[in-house]
A = this chain, B = another copy of it.
Amino acid sequence: MRNRYFSSDPARNNAALALYDSVANLPLICPHGHVDPRLFAEADYHFGSPVDLLIIPDHYIFRMLYSQGVSLDELGIPARASVPGSSGGDLNERDHREIWRRVCANWPLFRATPTGIWLRDELAEVFGIHLKLNSRNADAIYDAIEERLSRAEFRPRALFERFNIEALATTDAATDTLEHHQAIRESGWGGRIIPTFRPDAVVNIDNAVWLQNIELLGDIAGIDIRSFSTYIQALEQRRAAFKAMGATATDHAALTAYTELLSAADAEAIFARALKGEATVKDAARFTGHMLIEMARMSSEDGLVMQLHIGSWRNHNPQVFARYGPDMGADIPIRSEFTKNLKSLLDRFGNHPDLRLALFNLDETAYSRELAPLAGHYPILRLGPPWWFFDSWLGMTRFLDDVVETAGIYNLAGFNDDTRAYPSIPTRHDVWRRVCADWLAGQLVRGFIDEEDAFEMIRALAYDLAKQTYRLDD
């Protein structure tokens, strides 16, 4: 149905469809996500089985199955190499068709969830498969996906073109060699795939392998990192390398938005303690808080748009982490605070004409209370779209309800899909565009805005704001 998901009120439904139609075919701007650049480095990359493509990399799917008693082993999720018996693989399900059947048998769990909607729409729109996910159809769907994946038109580059992606940014460690990005550039293929500088692993000194990461950073930057100042030099060198490879943005994740400007002496002292493995928990929090300000300073100089993702308690389940490692659906949000925590950064850079800072969080209560008022005042701020659990029909609707009246739409960063599930990208953008069309239609039929406003706003939300925010129009 062309008008799926829109309000059932006829007047609003019609208005939503007209708005949606005006942007449905605009190119996709994908300024933040986790697609592996390797997909595009080789012209004939093959995705593997339907389970390799759709299940094993998608923690949205297996967390829900896990919550209802399906083990990760049964879903083919590999245990860490260090786990006893994991190399033998005797626990791990290897029959992908069997895994697929298991997922389909449990698919009712995803009723009324975004994961359920994405996969259904993706099968229909990308794969041309219109069967409902259930036990009865499991084999037929598996066969159909497998058949599609065997075709050249389902190689990542072909899909990139079919998806009409104008630019796609990956997320890359500060120590990444960017070799795949280099290979893409050298391949002569014209798709715009760009890296994003994400230095968390060399910034958070409580990271268990921080010292190793610092060594890697020194190696790749060609700088002997013995002090805070040489560390800063190395980071600046890497930012320049990312920028040279097309990057327009950085990305930073922190448990809280705490920022604090350290004195030069304190920064050196904490850094020295960290190098000796003697930093305290408090050192770590203060250092991260200081580095966010340092990164804002660098962004104000090199023009890379700064993204800040706040509020995810990573690897909350120690048993799952011990056996399977990170990104296993066990990251849980916490309460977030911005008015006080961001103040040190804003005091210094909040009015800077060249800095742009996009904020993301997992605590909806901050939308109307703090984020919209902050974005409706500070020139550097843009609000990122609803993140993670909130990248859903109702989550996005609540976001628009909560922030637009205070911040307007022009302090928003548009949409990004933030996904590692490459073939779901068109569906995710489509849901956002439908939400915006439905929301604006509500505003239009009630007389808050007129048609001229509505059509300009839907275009901004669907396309322009993401492009402008991430400086992809430069």
Contacts and interface: CB of A to CB of B under 8 A. Distances in A.
- Looking at A113, A353, A363, the one whose CB has the most chain B CB atoms below 10 A away is A113
A122 B117 CA distance: 39
Interface stretch (A33-41, A283-291, A366-374, A414-422): A366-374
A411 B68 contact: yes
Interface residues of A, number: 90
Contact of A410 (B108, B362, B363): B108
A381 B67 contact: yes
Interface in A400-438: 401-402, 404-411
A189 interface: no
Interface of A: 1, 4-9, 11-12, 63-64, 66-69, 108-114, 117, 132, 313, 316-320, 329-335, 337, 339-340, 343, 346-347, 350-351, 353, 362-365, 368-370, 372-379, 381, 389-390, 392-395, 398, 401-402, 404-411, 442-443, 445-450, 453, 456-457
A12 B5 contact: no
Contacts of A375: 67
Given A334-B339, A364-B369, A377-B329, A394 B405 contact: yes
Nearest to A453: B111
A-B pairs with the 8 shortest C-beta distances?
Answer: A4-B447, A392-B405, A8-B445, A389-B406, A332-B339, A8-B11, A365-B365, A111-B453
B394 A112 contact: no
- Looking at A132, A369, A402, the one whose CB has the most chain B CB atoms below 10 A away is A369
A334 B334 CA distance: 17
A369 B80 CA distance: 29
13 contacts: A8-B11, A8-B12, A63-B377, A68-B410, A112-B457, A313-B339, A316-B346, A335-B365, A363-B369, A364-B365, A372-B389, A392-B406, A394-B401
Nearest to A333: B369
A408 B398 CA distance: 18
Contact of A379 (B68, B347, B401): B68
A431 to B, nearest CB: 11
B450 A132 contact: yes
A408 B347 contact: no
Given A4-B447, A113-B404, A335-B365, 17 more contacts: A5-B446, A7-B446, A8-B12, A111-B408, A112-B443, A112-B448, A113-B405, A113-B406, A313-B340, A316-B343, A317-B346, A317-B350, A332-B370, A365-B369, A368-B390, A372-B389, A392-B405
Contacts of A109: 408, 410
A226 B102 CA distance: 52
- Looking at A11, A316, A394, A443, the one whose CB has the most chain B CB atoms below 10 A away is A316
Contacts of A329: 376-377
A448 B316 CA distance: 31
A351 B448 contact: no
Contacts of A12: 8
A378 B112 contact: no
A11 B6 CA distance: 13
Given A369-B335, A405-B389, A320 B351 contact: yes
B319 A351 contact: yes
A153 B374 CA distance: 39
B319 A408 contact: no
A83 B374 CA distance: 25
Contacts of A334: 337, 339-340, 369-370
Contact of A335 (B1, B69, B337, B449): B337
Nearest to A445: B8
Nearest to A389: B406
Contacts of A132: 450
A352 B268 CA distance: 46
B333 A316 contact: no
A112 B7 contact: no
A346 B316 CA distance: 9
